[in-house]
């Protein structure tokens, strides 16, 4: 291939191919994806609020405890739906709508727990439990610590 | 100078090794596809009574081999070599199946190109008088490939439109130097690794298409043939995106594929209603379609001569995460009707 003989020639050939790939690769449907994420994600958040309000009204929980109660219930049902193999189908439809609320986090922990059980409780489930959620925990907690320290000194 | 070569990449098999029999075992989703009637066995579920999906992959690989031998009426002890591979780390499905079969074993890894790779190497063994009969096989499993290359099965994520669906299935062919076969191997073009800088592991068709175009161009240059000399030019698992790109690349090289003279196994195996996006993939894709569709049509005389080329994306999750691009490889073998 003579066009590839010089370093700049290689770059043009790769760039030309990248353009060809882009031309033939179908795009994700952004509008449809946003709409589905919005209504499913919004419904999950609404459900969470209803659970929290119900906790306050019927169980007499103070507001902080009612929020925790809502999280616990949502995590439980996500874990259950993941376990019976339904959640991934819902997520395939909703995308970010199920990933962003706490349901996404619960699914990210339960699915590897199930998947890697074949390798045993210690080296399978135990070691691989946070394969997906791990980075979120590491950087989420690190960021909150950093912001906490900043807040301690600045206190705006 | 090697005698049985023409051009830069092509080998000739003067004795024309026969494919005596072939078998294809597939999962339930593949079993609902258009080739439903042609498979030797369709599993009721992807685990098939095994303890893990890896064991299920081993079991279907073994089952395809055994069914292939049974169809040819050849006892396992008579087989002088088994060549095969899969997508698991350390090609464990093939290795574990080989442990059960007790046939001298060459483990192969060519990603999804493995079926063509095993047929070419098997033909060399038979043609050179080193072994016969020889069993060539390849398999893959959706559930093991997902966890190895992507996410746990129950993890909720969306696939991109260019993503492909790994075929659950295995195919096996028995090659021999004599006897009446379904088809025979006339020549083969060995592919070189080609990398055009694709990094997207969800667009493997685009990563493999340049290798496919390269191998086909070498084949046509080496042999002096054109795409019109074949009833079908068949690719393994380029899918919708890769096939479109292949047409474009071949046209640039001056070997445009004629209308109706091309098929992709990845676009032939699943029902269009299934949620498979750009098509099927995996070693099992070309291996099962070869045995369920291509060999029967060569045998019946519907096709006289085809160019069967399986395509492989040579990526690992580690190199992908380290930012390495995805090299592709494609091996082609000329199969002619047995009559």
Give the tens place of pLDDT for each residue, B234-284.
999 999 999 999 999 999 999 999 989 999 999 999 998 888 889 999 999
Whether B254 contacts chain A with CB within 8 A: no
Whether B157 contacts chain A with CB within 8 A: yes
Query: Exposure pattern of A35-55 as b/e (b: 16+ CB <10 Å)?
Result: ebbeebbeebbebbeebbeeb
CB pairs under 8 A between A and B: 94
ipTM: 0.89
Provide the shortest C-alpha distance from residue A89 to chain B (in Å).
7
Residues 94-113 of B with CB under 8 A from A: none
Mean pLDDT for A46-61 is: 95
Mean pLDDT of chain A: 91
Contact flag A88-B51 (C-beta cutoff 8 Å):
no
A107 neighbourhood in chain B, CB within 8 Å: 154-156
Sketch out chain B's domains with CATH numbers. Answer: 17-176 (3.40.47.40), 183-337 (3.40.47.40)
The model carries a pTM of 0.93
Longest distance between any two alpha carbons in chain B, whole Å: 56
Are B195 and B175 in contact by the 8 Å Cβ rule? The answer is no
How far is the C-alpha of B152 from the C-alpha of A29, rounded, in Å? 24
* Chain centroid to CA A52: 22
Are B220 and B292 in contact by the 8 Å Cβ rule? The answer is no
Provide the shortest C-alpha distance from residue A118 to chain B (in Å).
6
How far is the C-alpha of B141 from the C-alpha of B148, rounded, in Å? 11
Residue A3 pLDDT greater than 90, yes or no: no
The CA–CA distances, whole Å, from A125 to A74, A128, B52, B134 equal 22, 5, 14, 41
Contact flag B151-A111 (C-beta cutoff 8 Å):
yes
pLDDT digits over B193-241, tens only?
999 999 999 999 999 999 999 999 999 999 999 999 999 999 999 999 9
* Chain centroid to CA B21: 16
Whether B326 contacts chain A with CB within 8 A: no
């Amino acid at each position: 291939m003579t066009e590839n003989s010089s370093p700049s020639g290689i770059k043009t050939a790769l760039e030309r191919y990248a353009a060809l790939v882009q031309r033939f690769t179908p795009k994700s449907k952004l509008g449809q994806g946003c709409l589905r994420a919005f209504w499913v994600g919004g419904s999950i958040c609404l459900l969470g609020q209803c659970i929290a309000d119900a906790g306050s009204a019927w169980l007499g929980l103070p507001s902080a405890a009612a929020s925790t109660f809502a999280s616990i219930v949502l995590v439980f049902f996500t874990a259950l739906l993941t376990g019976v193999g339904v959640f991934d189908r819902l997520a395939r439809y909703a995308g970010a709508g199920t990933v962003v609320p706490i349901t996404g986090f619960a699914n990210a922990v339960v699915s590897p727990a199930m998947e890697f059980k074949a390798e045993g409780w210690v080296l399978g489930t135990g070691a691989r439990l946070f394969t997906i959620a791990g980075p979120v925990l590491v950087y989420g907690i690190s960021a909150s610590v950093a912001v906490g320290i900043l807040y301690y000194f600045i206190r705006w | 100078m090697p005698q049985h070569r023409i051009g830069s990449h092509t080998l000739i098999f003067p004795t024309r090794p026969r494919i005596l029999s072939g078998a294809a075992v597939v999962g339930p989703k593949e079993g609902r596809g258009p080739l439903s009637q042609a498979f030797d066995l369709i599993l009721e579920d992807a685990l098939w009574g095994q303890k893990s999906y890896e064991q299920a992959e081993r079991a279907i690989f073994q089952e395809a081999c055994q069914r292939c031998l049974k169809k040819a009426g050849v006892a396992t002890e008579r087989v002088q070599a088994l060549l095969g591979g899969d997508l698991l780390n350390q090609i464990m499905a093939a290795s574990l199946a080989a442990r059960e079969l007790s046939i001298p074993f060459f483990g192969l890894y060519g990603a999804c190109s493995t079926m063509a790779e095993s047929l070419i190497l098997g033909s060399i063994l038979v043609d050179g008088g080193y072994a016969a009969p020889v069993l060539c096989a390849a398999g893959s499993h959706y559930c093991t490939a997902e966890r190895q290359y992507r996410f746990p099965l129950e993890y909720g994520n969306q696939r991109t439109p260019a993503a492909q669906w790994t075929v659950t299935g295995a195919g096996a062919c028995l090659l021999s130097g004599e006897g009446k076969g379904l088809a025979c191997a006339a020549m083969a073009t060995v592919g070189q690794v080609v990398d055009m800088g694709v990094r997207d592991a969800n667009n493997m068709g685009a990563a493999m298409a340049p290798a496919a175009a390269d191998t086909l161009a070498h084949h046509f240059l080496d042999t002096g043939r054109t795409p019109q000399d074949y009833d079908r030019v068949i690719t393994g698992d380029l899918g919708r995106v890769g096939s479109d790109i292949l047409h474009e690349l071949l046209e640039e090289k001056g070997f445009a594929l004629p209308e109706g003279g091309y098929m992709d196994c990845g676009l032939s195996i699943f029902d269009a209603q299934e949620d498979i996006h750009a098509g099927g993939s995996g070693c099992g894709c070309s291996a099962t379609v070869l045995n369920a569709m291509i060999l029967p049509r060569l045998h019946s005389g519907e096709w006289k001569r085809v160019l069967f080329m399986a395509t492989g994306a040579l990526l690992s999750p580690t190199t992908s995460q380290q930012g390495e691009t995805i090299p592709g490889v494609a091996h082609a073998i000329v199969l002619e009707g047995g009559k």
